[in-house]
Amino acid sequence: MKAIRKVMLIGLLEAALLPASVGQAQTNLIDQAYGAGAGSFELGFYDTNSINAYHNTIVSTNALIGAWVWTLNSVSPITGWICTSNVNWNWGRWQDADGTKDVELGAGGQHSSIYTTLNLNGGTTYILSFALSTTAYYVWNPGIIQVTFGTAIQSFTNSASTSATNMQWLTNSLTFTPATTGSYLLQFYHAVSADVPVIDAVSVVASNPVAPPPLVRTSVSGSPVLVWLASATGYSLQMNTNPPSGTWNTVSNGVAFTGLQVTNAPGNAFFRLH
């Protein structure tokens, strides 16, 4: 009986075969892709010298308001996220659902959105969860937001009366099962100009993660080769120089091989490609 194996020639210290952007069970894919805390908007360059120390405003034009405006044609200050219009990135402004920062859409009463992209496996069901509130400092309509997760689209509302010490965070969820493996959009859109929704604690996890097959390490011409069964499709090889605390990155500079494990060959057999 024969089993075909694929191998990848790479230089690394530690490696793992993972479902593309799935990883271990209950791992937040946003944090996995962009760093721990990215899902709750904790990462990035926050201007602590802002004229308003509690929020940085990211706008859609080149207009400069004091020292606290980021323009969309520059590098996005929020790691892992892109803003398409006026967004407040708040730090300590009020009670957060997770961490110390959150995102407030509709700054200045304008339509706005924030989005990211994630690599997802075809046939795997993913669960998006996020906390929704509304601004605590103005009299506005309820926080209403439209969420796009792949092909799943749904609107969510939080009608609670909020305060800086009690934001009445409401946790919502949306599921999506991609038909094919690829990159998919996750977007939060502020659709009603009179509303100012606030979002935090965004998480995407695989509801049915499958354990990857084992890796076998060998070498070719002195370089390490990682081998796994060719029947295990939809996986990406990732490496990490410090597994306890480092980040797992997909190997992008490997040399692919095709191999065959011969399980019944006699001890003195010779082989060739023909």
* Domain ranges for the chain: 2-22+211-262, 29-206
Beta bridge partners of 88: 57, 104
Q: How many CB atoms neighbour CB 218 within 10 A?
A: 10
Q: Of 143, 121, 129, which Cα lies nearest the Cα of 30? A: 129
CA angle in degrees (0–180, nearest 5) for 84-61-106: 50
Instruction: Say if residues 144 and 196 touch (Cβ distance below 8 Å).
Output: no
The predicted structure's pLDDT at residue 58: 61
CA nearest neighbour of 254 among 241, 242, 238: 238
Question: Looking at residue 57, what is its pLDDT?
Answer: 63
For position 11, what pLDDT does the model report?
A: 37
Q: What is the pTM of this model?
A: 0.66
Cα 158 to Cα 128: distance, rounded to the nearest angstrom: 17
Task: State which H helix or E strand residue 237 sits in.
Answer: strand 235-240
Give pLDDT, residue 132: 96
Pick from 32, 39, 56: which is nearest to 99 by CA?
Answer: 39
- The percent helix, strand, coil of the chain (3-state, each to 5) is 5, 45, 50
What's the count of helices (H) and strands (E) in the chain, helices before strands? Answer: 1, 19
Distance CA 132, CA 156 (A): 8
Torsion of CA 158, 145, 138, 66, to 10 degrees: 150
Cβ pair 72, 60 in contact under 8 A: yes
Cβ atoms of 20 and 206 within 8 Å: the answer is no
Taking residue 245's Cβ as centre, other Cβ atoms within 10 Å add up to 7
Residue showing tokens 């006699």: 266
Please name the amino acid found at residue 104. E
The pLDDT of residue 25 is 41
Per-residue pLDDT for the chain (274 aa), expressed as one digit of tens each? 344 444 444 433 355 555 443 334 478 999 989 999 999 999 887 766 554 555 566 654 433 333 334 444 445 678 888 887 778 888 888 999 999 999 988 876 677 888 999 999 898 999 999 999 998 876 666 788 999 999 999 999 998 889 989 999 999 999 999 999 999 999 999 877 667 899 999 999 998 766 777 788 887 777 778 887 777 666 778 888 877 766 777 787 778 777 777 777 777 777 777 7
Joined tokens for residue 239 = 């490496």
Residue 120 has what pLDDT? 93
Residue 54: the pLDDT is 55
The answer regarding whether domain 29-206 maps to CATH 2.60.120.260 reads: yes
- The residue type at 161: S
**Residue 81: closest CA among 63, 102, 61:** 102
Residue 64 confidence (pLDDT): 34
